Amino acid sequence: MQYSVYILKCIDGSLYTGITTDVKRRLNEHKSGKGGHYTRSHPPKKLLYVEAQPTRGSALVREAAIKRLSRTQKLVLCGTH
């Protein structure tokens, strides 16, 4: 099963990084308030970035690496800076 690492821009301008097997479904969950705890209080505004990963393990490793990046580095990764 293929996984994706994604970055969302929330309505308050913050960035959220997560993993999923179905980006469209997960985005809808976040928008409906049934996604992660963070996005319940910081609803997503826009999907900025998606990166395919072959396994759940590699997706988790990549998610952790992205979460360690600065905001500027994340925006560069997304191609928005």
- 3-class SS at 25? helix
The top-level CATH class assigned to 3-78 is alpha beta
**25 φ/ψ sector (left φ>0, alpha ψ -120 to 50, else beta):** alpha
The pTM for the full model equals 0.94
> What does the pLDDT look like over 43-77, one tens digit per residue?
999 999 999 999 999 999 999 999 999 999 999 99
